[in-house]
């Protein structure tokens, strides 16, 4: 197998790689220097160190070995300055700097631009990627930062010196313990896991039927029906909550008087109804999207072979649209599980859900247990996201599309 490669001249070491690496080192040195009240020393030391490091590292033939050496050298320097945490920070910085040195010296930095690109274009291309990287950082950093903070041994919302020094005493699981034992948190957790599944079942069963109805070729007033069914997603939650606050109180009183149900039970009924209707647009959207790719001749074939509509639905149509139904269910579940405004207005104290408790926690007595809860919820959403992603790929495979 012969690959056609175009040989670009390797960039000059002294005229390109070393100065740029020195610049990067100077920047990092400035940051460390200002923190230690001597920016100028930091800049100079950083520049010299980075240039030397680059020189050493690129002389290795094998990249891995070179990077390892870079990490080890800087880690050792870091350990001399600030102990364990210094070694860790140093190793990371060393990895970054040696990666940067390789990236520059091997010409990788222009690997993804056309060969005819001018240096300015190459610079722009790489700065653009840096900007995008920063935006991704902006997106993900707030979600990630709560995770280490949730293991804080103190009741603070920031990194304590002990945590920064990687001292095991700075970390503890006490906030998690609080979350799983304190009734202030366990009761809302139980409520959330009662209300969300019920609301999901209600919205998925009604929503799937309606989506199948809507996907038929002749539906009178299709647009108007669609607009009504999607509206819970479009109308701001605060308005839905205001309307429900007035109406559900009356509805609850009426049911209490005429059906003789207990107030507590009715509270759950009201919240479940409200959450179910909020989840419906998501079910409708995902299921109709799956039905668009559904091959109608399959149902006709089933009918041709003598299957009744119910049998056709469960044996032919349902298995094929199941991925869409499940991801719709997950959307409905997360909508209910995450929802605060409506439950705040419609529910009473005995229906307090997890987000409600977090909301009051953030507004009034701010307790670090919230961060432990947040971490658990992040793990939970990663699990949900993975499931949805896998389902989406499966559905595309079933429908004969390539996963994209």
Minimum CB separation of residue 146 from other proteins in Å reads: 5
DSSP annotation string for 25-94: HHHHHHHHHHHTT-HHHHHHHHHHHHHHHHHHHHT-SSHHHHHHHHHHHHHHHHHHHHHHHHHHHHHHHH
Q: Name the β-bridge partners of 152.
A: 171
Q: Quick one: 32 or 71, whose CB is closer to other proteins? A: 32
Q: Quick one: 17 or 353, whose CB is closer to other proteins? A: 353
Minimum CB separation of residue 360 from other proteins in Å reads: 11
- Lookup result for tokens 């668009």: 292
* Nearest Cα residue to 179 out of 386, 368, 382: 368
Q: Quick one: 58 or 291, whose CB is closer to other proteins? A: 291
**Are the CB atoms for 294 and 260 separated by under 8 Å?**
no
Q: Quick one: 247 or 314, whose CB is closer to other proteins? A: 247
Minimum CB separation of residue 362 from other proteins in Å reads: 5
Q: Quick one: 185 or 345, whose CB is closer to other proteins? A: 345
Minimum CB separation of residue 353 from other proteins in Å reads: 11
Q: Quick one: 10 or 133, whose CB is closer to other proteins? A: 133
Minimum CB separation of residue 238 from other proteins in Å reads: 4
DSSP annotation string for 122-173: HHHHHHHHHHHHHHHHHHHHHHHHHHHHTTBSSS-SS--HHHHTT-GGGB-S
Contacts of 263 (CB under 8 A, 6+ apart): 252, 256, 348
Q: Quick one: 13 or 45, whose CB is closer to other proteins? A: 45
- To 5 degrees, how large is the angle CA 197–CA 200–CA 203? 155
Structure tokens at 26: 């100077």
Minimum CB separation of residue 15 from other proteins in Å reads: 26
**Are the CB atoms for 146 and 375 separated by under 8 Å?**
yes
Minimum CB separation of residue 383 from other proteins in Å reads: 10
Q: Quick one: 10 or 129, whose CB is closer to other proteins? A: 129
**Are the CB atoms for 372 and 175 separated by under 8 Å?**
yes
Minimum CB separation of residue 62 from other proteins in Å reads: 25
207/291 Cα distance (integer angstroms): 13
For the chain, what is the radius of gyration of the CA atoms?
A: 29
Q: Quick one: 159 or 314, whose CB is closer to other proteins? A: 159
The three-class DSSP label of residue 228 is helix
* Nearest Cα residue to 328 out of 291, 355, 382, 375: 291
Alpha helices, H only, 150-294: 161-164, 174-181, 183-214, 222-234, 237-259, 263-292
Minimum CB separation of residue 34 from other proteins in Å reads: 4
């Amino acid at each position: 197998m012969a690959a056609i490669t175009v040989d670009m001249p390797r960039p000059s070491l002294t005229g390109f790689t070393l100065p740029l690496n020195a610049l990067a080192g100077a920047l990092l040195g400035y940051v460390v220097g200002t923190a230690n009240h001597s920016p100028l020393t930091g800049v100079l030391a950083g520049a010299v160190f980075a240039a030397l490091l680059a020189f050493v590292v690129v002389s290795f033939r094998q990249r891995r070995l070179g990077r390892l050496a870079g990490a080890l050298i800087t880690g050792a320097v870091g350990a001399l300055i600030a102990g364990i945490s210094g070694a860790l920070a140093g190793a990371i910085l060393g990895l970054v700097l040696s990666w940067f040195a390789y990236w520059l010296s091997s010409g990788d930095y222009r690997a993804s631009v056309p060969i005819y690109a001018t240096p300015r274009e190459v610079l722009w291309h790489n700065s653009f990627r840096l900007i995008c990287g920063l935006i991704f950082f902006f997106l993900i950093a707030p979600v990630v930062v709560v995770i280490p903070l949730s293991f804080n041994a103190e009741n603070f919302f920031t990194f304590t010196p002990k945590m920064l020094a990687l001292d095991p005493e700075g970390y503890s699981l006490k906030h998690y313990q609080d979350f799983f034992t304190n009734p202030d948190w366990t009761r809302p957790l139980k409520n959330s896991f009662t209300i969300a599944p019920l609301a999901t079942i209600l919205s998925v069963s009604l929503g799937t039927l309606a989506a199948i109805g809507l996907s038929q070729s002749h539906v009178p007033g299709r647009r108007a029906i669609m607009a009504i069914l999607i509206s819970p997603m479009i109308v701001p939650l605060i308005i839905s909550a205001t309307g429900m606050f007035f109406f559900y109180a009356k509805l609850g009183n009426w049911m209490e008087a005429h059906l003789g149900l207990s107030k507590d039970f009715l509270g759950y009924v009201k919240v479940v109804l409200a959450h179910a209707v909020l989840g419906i647009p998501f079910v409708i959207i995902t299921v109709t999207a799956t039905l668009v790719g559904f091959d109608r001749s399959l149902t006709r074939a089933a009918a041709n072979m003598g299957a009744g509509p119910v049998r056709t639905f469960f044996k032919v149509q349902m298995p094929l649209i199941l991925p869409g139904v499940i991801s719709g269910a997950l959307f409905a579940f997360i909508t209910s599980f995450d929802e605060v405004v409506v439950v705040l207005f419609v529910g009473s104290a005995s229906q307090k859900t997890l987000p409600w408790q977090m909301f009051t926690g953030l507004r009034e007595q701010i307790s670090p247990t919230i961060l432990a809860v947040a971490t658990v919820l992040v793990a939970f959403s990663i699990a949900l996201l993975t499931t949805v992603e896998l389902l989406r790929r499966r559905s595309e495979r079933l429908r004969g599309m390539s996963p994209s």
